[in-house]
Homo-oligomer: A and B are copies of this chain.
Amino acid sequence: MSLDGYTAGPQQSKKNPLGIGGTRLHEWALPLAAWRAPHGLEGGEVNESTPVVEESQANIGATIMGRNMFGGHPGPWDAAEPWNGWWGADPPFHHPVFVLTHHPRPPLALEGGTTFTFVTDGITAALDLARRAAGGQDVSLAGGASTAQQYLGAGLVDDMEIHLVPTLLGAGERLFDGVRDLGGLQLVRTVAAPNVTHLKFVRR
Chain A contact residues, CB within 8 Å of chain B? 3-5, 162, 164, 166-168, 170, 174-176, 179-182, 186-187, 189-190, 192, 195, 197, 199, 201
Contact = CB atoms under 8 A, between A and B. Distances in A.
Given A174-B4, A190-B192, A168 B181 contact: yes
Protomer copies: 2
A192 B187 CA distance: 10
Given A4-B5, A197-B197, A199-B197, A179 B190 contact: no
5 contacts: A4-B174, A166-B187, A167-B181, A190-B192, A197-B199
Secondary structure of the A contact surface, majority rule: loop
Nearest to A4: B176
Among A175, A190, A195, A197, the one with the most B-chain Cβ atoms within 10 Å of its Cβ is A190
Contact of A5 (B5, B181, B187, B197): B5
Nearest to A152: B168
A179 B192 CA distance: 24
A166 B179 contact: no
